Structure 1
Amino acid sequence: MLKHKLRRGAVVSRYGEIIGVLSKYGLAEFVSHRPFLRRLSIPLTRSGGRLRPPRLVRESFAQRLRRALEELGPTFIKFGQILADRADVIPETVITELKKLQNEVAPFPSSEARARVEKSLGKQIDHLFLHFSDTPEGSASLAQVHRAILPTGQPVAVKIKRPGIDDQIMADLEIMKQLAGFLDSYTSYFPVVTAAEIIREFEVQIVKELDFEEEFLSITKFAADYENDDTVAVARVYGDYVTRDVLVQEFMHGRKVSDVIAGSDSAYDKKEINRRTADFVMSQLFINGYFHADPHPGNFLVLQGNVICFIDFGMVYSLRPYEQENLNLMMIGLSRLDPSLVARSLLRMGYAEGTVDPDRFEAVVHDYIESHLARPLEYIDIPAALMELLQMVINYGVRLPPRLIYVAKVLGSLQTIGAGLDPEFQLLKYLRNFAPRMWVSQVASDRAGNKVLNSALNWQEAILNAPMLLQDVHRLLRDRKLVIDIPEADRISETLDRIGFRMTFGLVLSALLVSSSLVVLADIQPQIAGIPLFGIVGFSVGGVMGLVFLFAGMVSFFRWHKHHR
């Protein structure tokens, strides 16, 4: 986790820049609220004057917002890109525009890249690599990549964090959190979640992306999960060359799937690539519960032999066990058009802000499935339908885990890739064929065994705690601190007394017979006719008690029969 002490002067200066850019695009109404700025001790402008009125523009709000985010830099670009995935809180018109945000920026000088590597790894470049290319392979808002060759001769890709990006993002996050608090205090801009919640989710994600050691762990996990799958390749990461600011991994020679889609190279079997991609993505979501959350066409390669290779593991999410279990059930329900299964899994995944009638909720889900999924496969857009379903559930008052939004996003990317590689690809049909593997995963997984074990442990705990609980209840009843009002309590009490007496009588009789048997088997003295005397006495008393017990039972039965005849 990144920890930074931010200078107040830097934050105030950045506030001025943000207000200036928002004002430029006519978006300063939120942050120009005077009580808010006065409470933060922020001057209205860097020059001490008042905010200029926004320049009149003919662009839409969404267009102006996108341009402002791009001008504000990496933090806000990343924030806009994440908002573009939140169809549950952002209008579609804004999402369409935010998807145009460009992440590529001008590269920083190779001298800075070399200095960053040397400082992070503690050695001179010449001692780390046989060759280090000064020309970057690509440059993005957080980092850029250079090619190099290790002393072993292995070609590698060196990912280097942009200098100063940590401080800039931490300052921006501090400002965004304060602005979110203002939005939640003075407006209700986001009807479903608070602005503060959105910023918290964004902070967790971007701080994770800034730490390349986190990405190293993600890549290592993916490599372990698919080490025996020859249709998938995961670039090897060299642990000795990994820090929070630098990550060195094997350079993979392949073509981006976006280029494969656009090209006509016969060396690539597009249908096979699509099948492997779908299997890879589905196994992440519904079997492993650990998935690459940004599998767009430009973010993974196709290697020789139609082997697929995802790159850039900065955006990876894991599903909690109960989330994956119910996600699987929901997708199985959708593939089978089973509203009951879909409704139950959604309610178990989320939590209701009020009282939800399960039957009414199931009826709403049923109507939704009938109108969106009960049609020919070629007319069904599963990602869009899933997103609409999640939106409907949220509007119904059921809060869902944000990870589900990213699941819908991943399925959307899969559908886009599938349509490009194989025009006959139908995601819902694929889901139906994949459903049996989901069932097997549910039953055969370690989670299923853990659930059985946890249930057994819970029962064990309940049984062990029962005597103490009964003592507590007895004490409360004795001290008249617990009053139970039961109709016909006297008659019920008499019945319970009779039952208790019979149970006690039966236990004593059983104990007597068992102990007498043990005495006989022990062959102890004194004996009569070779049978221990105490055994004879025990069996005799037990026999008499048994006859009394049987007689009392018969009398009780005849009385009951006579009374109810």
Structure 2
Amino acid sequence: MQLRRRYKHLQRYREIVNILLKHGFGHILHHLGLADFVSIPGKVFFKKEPRIEQFSMPQRVRLALEELGPTFIKVGQILSSRADLLPPDYLIELGKLQDRVPAFAFDTAKQQIERELDQPLEEIYAEFDPAPLAAASIGQVYRAALPDGQKVVVKVQRPDIEKIINIDLEILYDVARFLESRSNWAEMYSFVETVGEFDRTLHEELDYNAEGRNADAFRKNFAGEPGVFIPMVYWDFTTKKVLTMEYVHGIKLNNLQEINRLGLDRPALARKLAQAIFKQILIDGFFHGDPHPGNLAALSGGEIAFMDFGMVGLLTEETKSKVVKLLTALVSKSSEAITKAVLDLGVVPKNVDKRLLRLDINLLQRKYYEVPLSQISLAESLNDIVSVALKYHIRLSTEFTLLAKALLILEGIVKELDPKLSIIKVAEPFGKSLLMEKLSPQALSKAAIKNLREFGDVLSFLPKQVSTVLDLAAAGELKLKHQLPQIDEVLNRVNKMINRLAFSIVITGLVIGSAFLARKEGILFGQVPVAEAGFLVVAVLGFWFLVSILRSGGF
């Protein structure tokens, strides 16, 4: 099946390889064995454009992804939040990835809308501007008006984009499986599972119905919050490939000149934005995954408007609790609590050295120990922790890394609007509120009922499991596996000690015996003195014994 797919997509494979070769990644492809994978002669893998040398490796990765097209641009944008997988210089560069694609023709967009909504465009919208407001890799956005005069924006998906993305994802799955079969580190980082995360995220962005539901959820969560505005979705004019939403007339939050000209209160905007994000994370458990200035606006009344809900993060109650524990540990500057929180948040390899991990977190703790709480950068602290996780191969959840990225973006915007505002101070009341909620009688009783139910499930299975064990024992088929950590190393050391001791005893015995015989002045075979023969035997046997031990590696 995989071979059939590989042959089917051979042209796309070759396009991908040629682009990677152009950007100087031939030696990496050859080292990974991909020359055989795509049936391309190995010598081709060492060709590259001379001008590419002027760019750093992270820059070349970004340029290659942009040239590879929509799927790889989106994958790069997702990876820009994965500080547990990539070093900081790559994250910074991937954060610059842009959907630099030409706009498709208005006639194509019109056909797509009419096909999806099953009506002529003129009967759906009273007005429709044929010039797109923005063009991106998955779709482009137009201004329009509904029959009742309501101003809207219409997002139209690119034709065949789902087919293009599915082909690229099949290729990524094939390459991931190939690498996992040949490389321990690829298996350790779960390449196939990572591609699965890309698959899920990309297909969520391809479904405009899902984006509409996300917008409705945010709108419901912020109902009654006068400082936050979420545009309305018009479901009668929305499908999987067409999204119609209320038009937002506002100012981008990084347009400080225009904000100042209109006399808007920048510190108030900064505080409202920070409070809105922390409410999403710590109270709702449902947050905007890409709150960059292009997706945020200040309205004339001082409200903060959120837009573009294609990328969101969802936190379970358990994950929210873990995030609060981490934030509390950061505030209290407790390295022990930080270590525990990090281990709780990730998938920890079996062989991780927790002592060294704790030492590294101690070093981080000292970095912030003398710094006042109001001056601590929450985003920098989280990035430092994620970097430590990367060092120890601790795989953090996609939601947590997305959260860390959202906080990094938030802190940058807040710093521009109001350099004096500490977002960690803004977060404190939300953390305390969540802790109080967890300790409330209702929450405690709910947790107790849940634990009792789980305990009851365990008890219900216990008799059957005990019976199975007893049957195996009666049949003589019960096997017990004893596993002692580092036992091989201990046994190896004991073996070396015994070898050294045996070597010493043998040599000492022979030397003493020869010395004793020397006093007797005996003659062997009528010519050779017994003592000298003994010393010769000592030398030969000692040399032979030493060589045998060294060969076995047990000295």
Query: TM-score normalised by the shorter chain: which range applies?
Result: 0.7 to 0.9
Partner of 2:94: 98
Choose the corresponding residue for 2:306, options 300, 307, 310: 310
Match of 2:270 among 258, 269, 274: 274
1:309-458 matches, cutoff 5 A: 309-354=305-350, 365-377=361-373, 380-396=376-392, 398-443=394-439, 450-458=446-454
SS in 2 for 1:29: helix
Alignment-mate amino acid for residue 389 of structure 1 = I
Q: Deviations over 1:211-257 (max 9, x none)?
A: 11111111111111111211111111011222111010111111111
How far the C-alpha of 1:431 sits from its partner, in A, is 3.0
Counterpart contact for 1:10–1:171, Cα < 8 Å? no
Counterpart AA for 1:349: L
Pick one of 224, 228, 232 that aligns with 1:232.
Answer: 228
1:23 aligns with 2:21: yes
Once the two structures are TM-superposed, the CA of residue 108 in structure 1 deviates from its matched residue by 0.9
Matched, 1:55 2:55: no
More divergent stretch after superposition (265-274 vs 410-419): 265-274
What is the correspondence of 1:89-128 to structure 2 with a 5 Å cutoff?
89-128=85-124
Would you say the 8 A contact 1:261–1:420 is kept in 2? Answer: no
1:175 corresponds to: 171
Query: After superposition, where does 1:34-183 map in structure 2 within 5 Å?
Result: 36=34, 38=36, 42=39, 53-57=47-51, 58-59=53-54, 60-183=56-179
Summarize the Cα distance change of 1:172–1:261 in structure 2 as closer, same or farther, 3 Å threshold. Answer: farther
Where 2:389 maps in the other structure, the secondary structure is helix
CA distance in 1, matches of 2:80, 2:455: 46
Partners of 2:465 and 2:340 in 1: how far apart?
35
Q: Which residue number corresponds to residue 517 of structure 1?
A: none
Could you state the TM-score of these two structures normalised by the residue count of structure 1? Answer: 0.75
1:521 maps to none
Query: What RMSD over aligned residues (CA atoms) do the two structures have, in Å?
Result: 3.4
Structure 1: which 5+ runs fail to align? 1-5, 484-565
CA deviation after TM superposition for structure 1 residue 53, in Å: 1.6
Task: Give the distance between the partners of 1:83 and 1:461, measured in 2 at CA.
Answer: 40
Using the TM superposition, give the Cα deviation of residue 191 of structure 1 relative to its aligned residue in structure 2, in angstroms: 9.3
TM-score, normalising length from structure 2?
0.76
User: How far does residue 202 in structure 1 lie from its aligned partner after superposition?
Assistant: 1.4
Q: How many residues align?
A: 473
Change (3 A) 1:275 1:261: farther
Amino acid paired to 1:410: A
Alignment match, 2:518: none
Identity score, percent:
29
Say if 1:11 and 1:320 are closer, same or farther in 2 by CA, change over 3 A. same
* Unpaired runs of at least 5, structure 2: 479-555
Q: In the superposition, relative to structure 1, how do residues 243 and 445 fare at CA in structure 2: closer, same or farther (>3 Å)?
A: farther
- Per-residue displacement from partner, 1:271-311 (whole Å, max 9, x unpaired)? 11111101110011111111111001221111121111111
Which of the two has higher C-alpha Rg? 1
- Quote the offset at 1:65 in angstroms: 1.9
How far apart are the structure 2 equivalents of 1:260 and 1:442? Answer: 40
Give per-residue Cα distances to partners, 1:430-449, cap 9 Å, x unaligned: 33344322323433598655
Letter in 1 for 2:23: Y
